[in-house]
Amino acid sequence: MKSAVETLSPTRVKVSVEVPFSELESSVKKAYRTIAQQVSIPGFRPGKVPTRLIDQRVGRGAVLQEAVQEALPEQYMAAIKEHDVKAIGRPEVEVTELNDGDKVTFTAEVDVRPEITLPDLSTITATVDEITVTDEDVDAQIAQLRDRFATLKGVERPAQTGDFVSIDLAATVDGNQVEGGTASGMSYEIGSGQLLDGIDDAIVGLSKDETTTFTSKLVGGPNAGEDAQIEVTVRSVREKELPELDDEFAQLASEFDTLDELRADSRGRVERQKKLDQAYQARDKALEALLAATDVPIPEGVVTEEVDYRKQNMSEQLEQMGSSLDQYLAAEEKSAEDFDAELKGNAEEAVKTQLVLDALADAEEVGVNDQELTEEVVRRAQQAGAPPQQFADQLVRSGQLAGVVADVRRGKALSMVLEHAKVTDSAGNEVDLTAVLNPAGEPRAEGDTAEGDAAEGDTAQAEAPAEGAEQEAAARAE
């Protein structure tokens, strides 16, 4: 095999490959076996058709096309490895010459990871909100806990904000009943904003068995984006009764004996949550500063693939909800052009972030150990509602495990940014994040310690993201 690489731009190359026909012999034989299973010729069992009859009935050209398609990914991978091409995205392959018994030549244009000059991480700065815990914050925390122990009592009066009502709903558009637009005995908290726009104003003031009609824009189903007339009937009204704030409540709702102890614990919880929020803010702002300080040529082909993927994923989700992308855009009063521009901007930001963090991980030789990978797989399995081992097996079968490793590696690279960046709060105080974020750049769970992370160490180096991208590109070339 002979190969050469031509640089088309900082983010794209053209790989030219010439393969002697002798290197395709195994693929040609495999092509004959594949076609023999597919054709039906009287007198021969499937898979037992002689090659001469396949040439006569199907044609030698079809066999060669099958063989070339089977051999291309391997030849492409060999070429980009020979020239250390850091390919990302889907290659555009074109067979330029196919001479039976002589050679096959093809070209593959593909996006590549650009060369990136990283800034000195110590020059990265971020300002975050100062942490203050007020009595009002503690009161709000206690109020949430108190609300969880509230009881509901039926009342004979008009409904008010905060009440729970049982309602019947029926939606029509131009006098025609909306598909899936009826419901009976639905429980709803007035003021929660979890149903249709305008329903709270319509219900407030209604008593048991009273009915009213209001207009609201539908957000799903075949009539998404259209104004519908909603008839709502209140079947019952119940109000919340909150427990008294005293020591008895503290004993009921917690392990503490007194309300003062419960308030002290709540203050600590609020402070810990604000520290986590501050850590997330620091992470986002440090990453934003890093990207602003780094010049990154954007591979347009990768961005296009990301946009297409996001649009397709969103369309499928809307379809599962009984809606469509057109209906969603109508409901959001957004044009297709604006939507595409928004998708492209988000995709460019995501691609740039990955490229910069990959470059930093490469420069610092960041690895991912077995425990870190296991924890990430378990976390994703929990989010997907799947057993961890089953989820891990699926990742391996689908070839997506390398992508998970790359994500963990990027998280660790971002954690390095936070270690070196200067983070201060709005009052000018330096913020130490080492006790809040783990090495992967995620908030620590309660009980986790920095010493515990350090003790684990890096037991296995991660597969480089570029290699993962090359494997994905090869699979797409098939």
CATH number for the domain that contains residue 454: 1.10.3120.10
Task: For residue 246, tell me if it sits in a domain.
Answer: no
Computed from CA positions of residues 45, 47, 49, 54, in that sequence, does the dihedral angle turn out positive or negative? Answer: positive
Task: For residue 237, tell me if it sits in a domain.
Answer: yes
What total number of domains does the chain contain? 3
**Model pLDDT, residue 4:** 95
Query: Position 12: which residue type?
Result: R
Task: For residue 251, tell me if it sits in a domain.
Answer: no
Question: Hey, what are 229's tokens?
Answer: 């007339």
User: Is residue 441 very low, low, confident or very high in pLDDT (cuts 50, 70, 90)?
Assistant: low
CB atoms within 10 A of CB 180: 12
Angle formed by the axes of helices 259-292 and 336-363, nearest 10°: 90
Q: Does 454 score more than 60 pLDDT?
A: no
Structural domain of 17 = 2-112
Q: Final residue of a domain: which of 112, 140, 175?
A: 112
* CB 67 within 8 Å of CB 3: no
- Are residues 339 and 464 both part of a single domain? yes
User: Is residue 440 very low, low, confident or very high in pLDDT (cuts 50, 70, 90)?
Assistant: low
Q: Does 2 score more than 60 pLDDT?
A: yes
- Are residues 63 and 162 both part of a single domain? no
Q: Does 221 score more than 80 pLDDT?
A: no
- Are residues 323 and 422 both part of a single domain? yes
Q: Final residue of a domain: which of 112, 144, 173?
A: 112
Give residue-wise pLDDT tens across range 268-277.
999 999 999 9
- Are residues 384 and 466 both part of a single domain? yes
Q: Does 423 score more than 90 pLDDT?
A: yes
Q: Does 473 score more than 50 pLDDT?
A: no
SS (H, E, C) 125-160: EEEECCCCCCHHHHHHHHHHHHHHCCEEEECCCCCC
Query: In sequence order, what are the residues at sequence separation of 6 or more whose Cβ sits closer than 8 angstroms to the Cβ of residue 285?
Result: 126, 127, 128
User: Is residue 436 very low, low, confident or very high in pLDDT (cuts 50, 70, 90)?
Assistant: low
**Model pLDDT, residue 57:** 84
Q: 3-state DSSP call for residue 310?
A: helix
Task: For residue 118, tell me if it sits in a domain.
Answer: no
The CATH number assigned to the domain holding 83 equals: 3.30.70.1050
Q: Does 421 score more than 90 pLDDT?
A: yes
Computed from CA positions of residues 43, 49, 51, 57, in that sequence, does the dihedral angle turn out positive or negative? Answer: positive
The CATH number assigned to the domain holding 176 equals: 3.10.50.40
- Are residues 268 and 407 both part of a single domain? yes
pTM comes to 0.72
In terms of DSSP H, where are the helices of 364-400? 370-384, 388-397
User: Is residue 465 very low, low, confident or very high in pLDDT (cuts 50, 70, 90)?
Assistant: very low
Query: In sequence order, what are the residues at sequence separation of 6 or more whose Cβ sits closer than 8 angstroms to the Cβ of residue 200?
Result: 161, 190, 191, 193
Query: In sequence order, what are the residues at sequence separation of 6 or more whose Cβ sits closer than 8 angstroms to the Cβ of residue 395?
Result: 377, 401, 404
- Are residues 282 and 383 both part of a single domain? yes
Instruction: Give mean pLDDT, residues 435-452.
Output: 54
Q: Does 93 score more than 60 pLDDT?
A: yes
Within a 13 Å sphere around the CA of 57, how many CA atoms are in the beta-carbon half?
Answer: 14
**C-alpha–C-alpha distance, residues 24 and 61, integer Å:** 14
Instruction: Give mean pLDDT, residues 67-77.
Output: 92
Residue 294 is inside which H or E element, if any? none
- Are residues 330 and 410 both part of a single domain? yes
